Structure 1
Amino acid sequence: MAVAFSESKNHSDRERWVCIYPLYINSKKSRAEGRKLPKSKCVENPTHQEIRDVLLAAGLKVGVENKLHPKERSKELLYRGRIRVQLKNDDGTPVNPDYPTRDSLMGYVGTSIPNLKTRQGKQSSSEPQQSSSTAKKGKGKGRR
């Protein structure tokens, strides 16, 4: 059986890095389904590419693994992916002092993903579709 934690490993070893699944910051999931943050800090259906882009922009060392969270019901490629992030240096100090803990890092990711260019493009293209569908609601079958 594999050992989950080994004190002999340094913080710079990939096995000691923090894991972030997209499920942790998905606002469509409940706490029981695996969400770790309050919905105000979460995003609707984040992908591992978006999480990776935000963490790389913050200057952190990131690794992507093709893994699936056990509580994730959908086995589609969209929901696959685990991000590993180096949170601490070998001496125990945070790599980035702005994000010393796992929760602060996930909160930053959750609030930064809506600012990505890929997210902003999706929101602007979905708004005209909603207005055209509401304009057609006036007609019905009439009287019988």
Structure 2
Amino acid sequence: MMDGTQINMKKWIVFYPIYVNSKKTIAEGRRIAAEKACENPTCVEIADCCAHFKIPFAIEPEKAYPRDFMQRGRVRMLLKREDGSLYNPVIGTRKQLMLQVAELVPRHPGRTKKQEPANASTTSGPSRSGKGGKKKK
């Protein structure tokens, strides 16, 4: 596919993990509905989704999200070939790509281990009863 010639990635779409992060608000950069978004996706997980969809991609780990410079990394993707045909007929727009990636990331093989402790901590939270503070005698 790529024969060593320099590829012009300026035309590729940019995909920051924050676009599909359910923990962020629209103002913070989320671009799809919170119900459809996934929790704290990483560049590697998004790149694996691209590989799954057979879409050319490149990870840029040193790049930061402009609204939150602590969020490092982004993925560049190419949805269409030079002749205008789609690499994946299911994904034609950025929005479709975001929805597909957000759906796939929670099923990422590296994620299954990480999800369990998060669920355990949420169950222990509301079990405390009462308002707290000092008890009256």
| TM-score, normalising length: structure 1 | 0.76
Cα contact 2:54–2:87 (8 A) shared by 1: no
Between Structure 1 and Structure 2, how many residues are aligned?
128
Q: Which residue of 1 aligns with 2:25?
A: 30
Deviation, structure 1 residue 117: 1.8
Distance 1:128 1:30 in 2: 24
**Cα RMSD after superposing both structures:** 2.2
Cα contact 1:23–1:72 (8 A) shared by 2: no
Q: 2:110 aligned with 1:114, yes or no?
A: no
Please, which runs of 5 or more residues in structure 2 have no aligned partner? 1-6
Cα contact 1:51–1:83 (8 A) shared by 2: yes
Distance 1:127 1:22 in 2: 22
Instruction: Give the residue type in structure 1 aligned to 2:65.
Output: H
Distance 1:130 1:31 in 2: 24
1:48 paired residue among 43, 63, 73: 43
Cα contact 1:64–1:84 (8 A) shared by 2: yes
Deviation, structure 1 residue 13: 3.1
Q: Percent identity?
A: 35
State the SS of the aligned residue for 1:40: coil
Q: 2:92 aligned with 1:100, yes or no?
A: yes
Tell me the alpha carbon deviations over residues 33-65 of structure 1, each in whole angstroms, 9 at most, x when there is no partner: 111111122112111111111111221111011
| Structure number having the greater strand percentage | 2
Q: Residues 50 and 91 of structure 1: is their aligned pair in 2 closer, same or farther, counting only changes over 3 Å?
A: same
Please, which runs of 5 or more residues in structure 1 have no aligned partner? 1-11
Q: How does 1:48-87 map to 2 (within 5 A)?
A: 48-65=43-60, 66-72=62-68, 75=70, 79-87=71-79
Runs of at least 4 residues of structure 1 off by over 6 A? 140-143
Q: 2:121 aligned with 1:126, yes or no?
A: no
Q: Residues 128 and 58 of structure 1: is their aligned pair in 2 closer, same or farther, counting only changes over 3 Å?
A: same
Deviation, structure 1 residue 126: 3.5
Deviation, structure 1 residue 118: 2.0
Tell me the alpha carbon deviations over residues 70-108 of structure 1, each in whole angstroms, 9 at most, x when there is no partner: 1115x2xxx211100111000111111110111101110
State the SS of the aligned residue for 1:68: strand
Cα contact 1:89–1:95 (8 A) shared by 2: yes
Cα contact 1:14–1:84 (8 A) shared by 2: yes
